[in-house]
Chains A and B, each alone.
Chain A
Amino acid sequence: MEIALTISSLRRFQVTSHGSRSVLWNAWRESRARFFCALVLLTSLVTYAVLTSPGFLARYNTHFPDKPLLYSVYVWTGLFHYALEGLWVLAALVLALGGLAREKATGVALFSLALPVGRLNLFLIRAAMASAESIVLGLASALLIPALSALVGEAYPFSQALGFGAWMGGAGLVILAFGLLISEIFEGEFTAPVVGLCSLTVIFLGYRGHTLRGWNVFDVMSATASIDPQTQLLTGPFHWLDLGACVLFSIVLLFTAGAVVKTRDF
């Protein structure tokens, strides 16, 4: 009976599938508090930016009557290209942390490795959960903008918010993959976040200071090349090649992280 259970391919598939579901549930349980906190952080920022927009726009347009600031320009420059993008990057990095390297440091890695799930699967399930959470964060905070805009007497197209949110989440997967990689390299509790934040700050400031030039993941995330210069709304063709480059780079980072997980002695 026991032999039959062990050699049955169907049963083996069921065991693996159930194991994967349990690991997925475990990944959700481990990260849900971080996810909800990040959601509160991003929604607070969006709420603040939208609710204070009438006062800001009135002051700005009084100062510069010949160069009035459109609400859509305020939203893109203040949120999608600056604060929301920055906080989303921070949230994605924090959601990517954890994993077997951290469990090794706390001495519980062997419990995870003893489960009937491959170590690569453990990593990929965690990566899938972090990716889903990051995309939900991007979309939820972006879609809050048109919903709240109506409260302050402004209009922001739902499709625009959806487009910017999806683009930020899609291109930003490279940031998430980077976070997953460093979380599998460094065991220290705060080593991975500190290294990640410092590296991203250097890259960001490098582009801002024109030390680094050319292709820029932060500009791809905010769809800089696809917006109208006047309204800063998505009007031009989507630059799928840029998004493809981000996805490709994310896959390379994930493969590297997977190789680290597979070859590591826990």
Chain B
Amino acid sequence: MSVLFYKAWIETRVRFVAGLIAAAIVCIFYMEQHGWLVRMWTEDMQNPHGYHMKWMPLGIHEYGWYLWHYLYDNYLQQVWILSAILFAFGGLIRERNGGTVLFSLGLPVSRRRWLFTRLAVALLESIALSLFAVIVVVIGSTVIHQTYSLSQLLLHTALMVAAGVFMIAFGNLCYTLFPGNYLSLIVTLVLLGAPYLWLQTYMQHMNALGRTPWLGYLNVAHAMAGPWQLNWSTTPWLALLVAWALAAVLLGATVVHGDRLDY
């Protein structure tokens, strides 16, 4: 079993290191920008002709909100999703394209075990990536002399990973169905991006009408971010359950497809 884990790690370690670098870049960039942005917002608020947005006082006075908005609701989340998808790519399908799959299938290991080991490593790497981002934020915040709630940071990390398992399952299924030639990468982005944009349009339209449609529960990116102050009652439990259910369906489809595939 440990050999299978090691093999999956060898296959994905370059992507993992690149994911760490990307997450560090995004976190450092937005912490470095904090002082400048707060100064700009403050000047705007003091200027009667400046921009006055509802969120500006929060952005100026709540560093925790700033971190949540720029990292967990936006850029770190996007980097994490892209990395998680890339971690989930590979496995037996990739070996089939390289012509080495029969060596792996010849081992006394079932196809399902190959798949689950591969996905377990992808999940562990995704968790490690999110925890690494926490470490970067802790060190960076100390450098720029800002205080925040570490428990909130860890709760947002946990929520991002918990809802984000859907992305791992989705990425793996896309790679299984559209392998090779980088098609899987762009197909995954299209299948995630296009419906997401349409969902946003629909949600904005329904919000303008004062309705809360059930399709909102399919907004996984929204569930991954959660509200900026996270506690037991504000955690989007229903959206989280929907994300898990969708991930289970996708995983089931991958298993069924993998079992029937003629290598």
Q: Which residues from chain A sit less than 8 Å from chain B, CB to CB? A: 30-31, 33-34, 37-38, 40-41, 44-45, 48, 51-52, 55, 63-64, 66-67, 90-91, 94, 97-98, 105-107, 188-191, 193-195, 197-198, 201-202, 205, 208-209
Contact = CB atoms under 8 A, between A and B. Distances in A.
Interface stretch (B59-67, B92-100, B157-165): B92-100
Contacts of B15: 190, 194
10 contacts: A34-B182, A34-B183, A41-B190, A48-B201, A52-B201, A91-B186, A105-B98, A189-B94, A194-B18, A198-B18
A105 B52 CA distance: 55
Nearest to B195: A44
A205 B181 contact: no
A94 B89 CA distance: 16
B211 interface: no
B33 interface: yes
A48 B89 contact: no
Given A205-B25, A209-B29, A48 B14 contact: no
B200 interface: yes
Nearest to A210: B36
Nearest to B79: A201
Contact of B25 (A37, A189, A202): A202
Contact of A48 (B53, B82, B182, B200): B200
Interface in B77-127: 82, 86, 89-90, 94, 97-99
B51 to A, nearest CB: 7
B83 to A, nearest CB: 9
Contact of B98 (A106, A194, A195): A106
Contacts of B49: 66-67
A262 to B, nearest CB: 24
A37 B182 CA distance: 11
Contacts of A198: 18, 21-22, 25
A44 B193 contact: yes
B204 interface: yes
Given A33-B183, A66-B49, A190-B15, 20 more contacts: A30-B181, A37-B183, A40-B190, A41-B189, A41-B190, A44-B194, A44-B197, A45-B193, A48-B198, A48-B200, A52-B201, A55-B204, A67-B49, A67-B51, A94-B182, A98-B181, A194-B14, A201-B25, A205-B25, A205-B26
Contacts of A30: 181
A144 B244 CA distance: 37
B136 interface: no
A194 B99 contact: no
Contacts of A188: 14
A40 B186 CA distance: 10
B208 interface: yes
A94 B25 contact: no
Given A34-B183, A105-B98, A190 B201 contact: no
Nearest to B99: A107
A41 B25 contact: no
A91 B182 CA distance: 11
Contacts of A191: 14
Interface string B176-209: 0010011101110110011001101100110010
Contacts of B190: 37-38, 40-41, 44
B32 interface: yes
